[in-house]
Chain A
Amino acid sequence: MDNYLISAGFLNYNFAFLIVFVLVTAGISFFSYRVNKLVRQNQLKQFSIAFLSICLGYVMQIIQLMFVDPRMMFGMGGMRRLMHGMISWELILLNAHAILMMIGLVLLVYTTIKAQKPRILVLLVLITLVPVLFTPNSVFTFHLLATILTLFIAYHYYENYRKHKQKQTALVFLGFTFLFFAHFLLVFSLRDPLSFTIGRTLELIGYLLLLTNLTLVLRK
């Protein structure tokens, strides 16, 4: 699996952004779990697991940056030089990131289409994971598929916004729209460090919009 091309000046920002992504996705997952404890609805349970999976996907990237990536500025990346065979760890963590993110996004799509048929979920997981794991250009394939999935999710939230024209539904729609553009730009991040920087920044804006919505919900 290839790795992203990140400009040196953006490495530490990337790390900070990932921490924000983990906190926001964990927050949404936890709150969804809390609401599900009261309402007990399959859709909520799936939504909570989806964000948990995305959260763990970002945790994998943080672990990779902290312990494996030699480009990290604050020292821990240097462990790679000390530990023999770390390249395979990089591969494992990149794959784990892609698998967890893909499962999370597929679950979100499954939740939005309200299919309630586990066979459809299994099919969706298989047709997205197999190309990611078995193509030589996995990062490219992962972001290409993630672009399609987030486009689908963003459209669902556009419909939801049309149904309930409120500030909060607009925030969620915009949040996922930014995530869609982020994944689209990250498709090119293997060759162009600027795509990575802009993609990650759009991703940050997307998650901050989702966080704003969550904050507004909690204020009620």
Chain B
Amino acid sequence: MKQKRERLEVIHDILKSIQNAKSGMKPTHIMYKANLSHQMLDEYLKELKEKEFIIEEKNGKGKTYSLTEKGHKYLDEYKLIHSFMESFGLD
């Protein structure tokens, strides 16, 4: 059986799905792409906004999310971050 995804991996999946979208991404699409429940998605999006990994934009069709520079940097350095935190048991 596949192990439960770790927090860092979930954040990576959310950011990756937003990055793959050409313009901002709607929360329902993120939820589908990152395979998350509605409640979990809300919690993660709140955290990612606070950490300035994503920005929320509101238009006539609702909310969309796009990556900030910090979000891109996280994706670039994900392997390194993941490896450091896993080896030192920090997640």
Binding site for B on A (CB under 8 A): 31-32, 35, 38-41, 43-44, 47, 111-112, 156-157, 159-160, 164, 166, 168-169, 171-172, 213-214, 216-218, 220
Given A38-B74, A38-B77, the answer on whether A217 and B87 have CB atoms closer than 8 Å is yes
Residue on A with the closest CB to B7? Answer: A41
**Among B8, B77, B80: residue with most chain A CB under 10 A:** B80
A171 contacts across to B, CB distance below 8 A: 87
Which A residues are in CB contact (< 8 Å) with B73?
Answer: 38
**8 Å CB contact of B88 from A39, A47, A166, A218:** A47
Cβ of B89 under 8 Å from chain A:
yes
A-binding residues in B (CB < 8 A): 8, 51, 70, 73-74, 77, 79-81, 83-91
Contacts of A218 in B (CB 8 A): 80
Q: Please tell me if the beta carbons of A44 and B90 are within 8 angstroms of each other in the complex.
A: yes
The chain B residue sitting closest to A172, CB to CB, is B87
| 25 CB-based A-B contacts, threshold 8 Å | A31-B84, A32-B84, A32-B88, A35-B81, A38-B70, A38-B73, A38-B77, A39-B51, A39-B74, A40-B51, A41-B90, A44-B85, A47-B88, A112-B89, A160-B89, A166-B87, A168-B83, A169-B86, A213-B88, A214-B84, A216-B83, A217-B80, A217-B83, A218-B80, A220-B79
Main secondary structure of the interface of A (DSSP, over half): helix
User: Which A-chain residue is minimally distant from B11 (CB atoms)?
Assistant: A39
How far, in Å, is B67 (CB) from chain A's closest CB? 13
Least Cβ–Cβ distance between A169 and chain B, in angstroms: 6
User: Using Cβ atoms and an 8 Å threshold, which residues of chain B touch A39?
Assistant: 8, 51, 74, 81, 85
CB distance from A49 to the nearest CB of B (A): 13
Tell me the bound Cα distance from A214 to B83 in angstroms: 9
Closest beta carbon of chain B to A73's beta carbon, Å: 37
Complex CA gap A160/B84 in Å reads 13
Contact in complex: A220, B87 (CB < 8 Å): no
Within the complex, which residue of A41, A156, A169 is in contact with B87, where a contact is CB–CB below 8 Å? A169
